Amino acid sequence: MNPIKKERLPQLDFFRAIAIIGVLHVHSTSNATIEAVSTSLYYVFNFLNLFFKYGTPSFIFLSSFVLFYNYYDRPLTGKLIGSFYKKRMLYILLPYILISALYFLYKLYNNDRFDEPIGVLLGDYVHAIFHGSAWTHLYFVFISVQFYILFPLMLALLKSQRWIARWALPIGLAIQWGWVLWNKYDLHYASKGSIALSYFAYYLMGAFVAIYFKPFRSWVMSKWSEMRRIQKISTIVLWVSWLITGLIYVQIWYDARLTNEWLDSLWYEFMWNIYTMLSSLVLFHSAFILQRRAPAWLLAILRRLGEISFAVYLVHPFLLAFYRETQDQFSMSTITYFCWIYGGLIFALVVSSIIVQIMFRRVPFSWVLLGSVPSSLSKKKRGSNDGTKRTRKTDAVQRTSP
């Protein structure tokens, strides 16, 4: 049986671009939330650090959406599962292991640990691999690997038990919050965020949107003037709720960081969960709005950034670490410090984008370190001169998401 051909969704590259910009905001402002507490711009730093925390959860939602969108209507065979695991091992697991090694070596160099016994260092590296801790951002790839391991089982379950698919969102929330409460009151596992259970609501929300994409498609593809009344009301409720919860999330963290008076940790978890789940839907909607309304030059930039977002995610902390070494070279006023912080974001974004594109274009087997090569940057694509318009081998909806 031939698999059902799914509609290409190039808008998802715009989603990836907005999400990776969110990730870079969080990472580039992380030091400022500690160093700039006493400055007049601390609320701004705090806002940038927290309001943009939609990035990683949105990528998790999108990864789930992409997988269920592509695989849900296909016959679940051994060949399909084998192909699925092969691709993830080559383009996710292998780059994760190798990029983790580079970050691990960088940390050894910074901490002057190369004289320690090789057995100790190898043990620390293996521990880092199995905890996603070779560098702070790699926990995302580690939890993605966990999800990929579970995906065929989840796919089979949602295909065979349609009631589970209909109730996917509340089931995901129940699993995620069951884990959160269990860990808080019993396990006390310090690296809770490196366990996939911490993000199950996003996985199953992505699955739900993919499985029931038809009504969502009617919504995101429609202009405001074309929407039905219920769609307009739902859109207003979504966007207003997203903005309000985001501002509340920013405020409770701002108050806590400024006064060192903290609420119960579950309040921060709850507001983050609600805000970032709404953010995933807002980004999803925004990507389709951009497709209709944004100028061509902006779409071209966002499309390319979305295509290389996984590779940018992997390498940008190297650039940020290098950039932060320049801090002592400047006499910092509050405004200068703000410009320096935002300069780090721009530096990491632009330079990492340039580096990964050069590597994809010029370095053989760059996929081993950076993940799958976007078809627009592959040698085969660039080398075609037959005068015909080629169909992209890898649809935008199928590309790896960080």
Q: How many domains does the chain have?
A: 1
Structure tokens at 373: 């090569």
Give just the sign of the alpha carbon dihedral 161, 163, 165, 171.
negative
141 pLDDT exceeds 60?
yes
- How far apart CA 146 and CA 133 sit, in angstroms, is 15
The closest of 143, 146, 148, 137 to 312, measured between CA atoms, is: 137
- How far apart CA 206 and CA 145 sit, in angstroms, is 16
327 pLDDT exceeds 90?
no
Structure tokens at 111: 């901490």
Lowest pLDDT segment from 105-119, 198-212, 213-227, 317-331: 317-331
To the nearest whole number, what is the mean pLDDT of the chain?
Answer: 92
Better pLDDT: 386 or 270: 270
For residue range 274-301, what is the model confidence (pLDDT) as tens digits?
Answer: 999 999 999 999 999 999 999 999 999 9
Q: According to the model, what pLDDT value does residue 387 have?
A: 40
Q: According to the model, what pLDDT value does residue 390 have?
A: 38
Q: According to the model, what pLDDT value does residue 401 have?
A: 62
- How far apart CA 21 and CA 349 sit, in angstroms, is 8
Q: Is residue 2 part of a domain?
A: no
For 225, counting Cβ atoms within 10 Å of its Cβ (0-12 exposed, 13-18 middle, 19+ buried), the class is exposed
The closest of 365, 362, 370 to 308, measured between CA atoms, is: 370
The closest of 216, 208, 215 to 72, measured between CA atoms, is: 208
Q: Residue 372: which residues within 8 A CB-CB, separation 6 or more?
A: 87, 91, 310, 394, 399, 400
Q: According to the model, what pLDDT value does residue 18 have?
A: 98
Q: Is residue 232 part of a domain?
A: yes
Q: 392 falls in which pLDDT band (50, 70, 90)?
A: very low
The closest of 368, 356, 363 to 379, measured between CA atoms, is: 363
For residue range 29-88, what is the model confidence (pLDDT) as tens digits?
Answer: 999 999 999 999 999 999 999 999 999 999 999 999 999 999 999 999 999 999 999 999
The closest of 358, 361, 284, 304 to 63, measured between CA atoms, is: 284
Q: Is residue 6 part of a domain?
A: no
Q: Is residue 3 part of a domain?
A: no
Q: 389 falls in which pLDDT band (50, 70, 90)?
A: very low
The single residue listed with the structure tokens 């760059």 is 366
Q: According to the model, what pLDDT value does residue 98 have?
A: 97
For residue range 162-181, what is the model confidence (pLDDT) as tens digits?
Answer: 999 999 999 999 999 999 99
Q: What is the mean pLDDT of residues 137-161?
A: 96
Q: Is residue 315 part of a domain?
A: yes
Domain range for 305 is 11-398
Q: Is residue 175 part of a domain?
A: yes
Q: Is residue 5 part of a domain?
A: no
